[in-house]
């Protein structure tokens, strides 16, 4: 996977400092490329954790990512204290069964619900 870190940083409440975004390229192994929401969440969480030097956060995505340029979805990162941070995903290119996408986290998180 190819990852290009962005320069800005964001502080997620109790999640430590996470980079605002990352790029990833994932092979999905079929002719009609689509990445499952579970694989998408896992890939984004791993990249953010790796770039920030933090433990892998809990990440969830509401839908599979269709392998079409311009397709978007919004995932949610949940910190250990329950605070959340939105992460926007956008497909930047598709080459065969490989989906390339950018992930950009919101600048501010939402506090944990009481």
pLDDT digit string, tens, across residues 66-112: 999 999 999 999 988 889 999 999 999 999 888 999 999 898 888 88
The pair of three-digit structure tokens given for residue 114, joined into one six-digit string:
């009481």
Angstrom distance (rounded) from CA 71 to CA 89: 8
Q: Degrees (nearest 5) of the Cα angle 15, 17, 23?
A: 105
Q: What is the pTM of this model?
A: 0.74
Cα–Cα–Cα angle for 60, 65, 71, nearest 5°? Answer: 120
Cβ neighbours for 34, distance < 8 A, ≥ 6 positions apart: 28, 64, 65, 66, 67
What single DSSP character describes residue 108?
S
User: pLDDT tens for residues 5-41?
Assistant: 332 233 333 333 344 556 666 665 666 789 999 999 9
């Amino acid at each position: 996977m190819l990852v290009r870190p962005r320069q800005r940083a964001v502080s997620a409440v109790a999640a430590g400092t996470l980079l605002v975004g990352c790029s990833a390229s994932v092979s999905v192994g079929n002719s009609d490329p689509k990445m499952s929401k579970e694989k998408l969440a896992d890939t984004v969480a791993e990249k953010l954790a790796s770039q920030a030097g933090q433990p892998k956060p809990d990440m969830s995505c509401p839908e599979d990512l269709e392998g079409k340029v311009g397709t978007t979805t919004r995932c949610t990162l949940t910190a250990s204290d329950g605070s959340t941070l939105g992460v926007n995903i956008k497909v930047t290119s598709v080459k065969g069964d490989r989906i390339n996408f950018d992930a950009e986290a919101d600048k501010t998180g939402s506090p944990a619900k009481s």
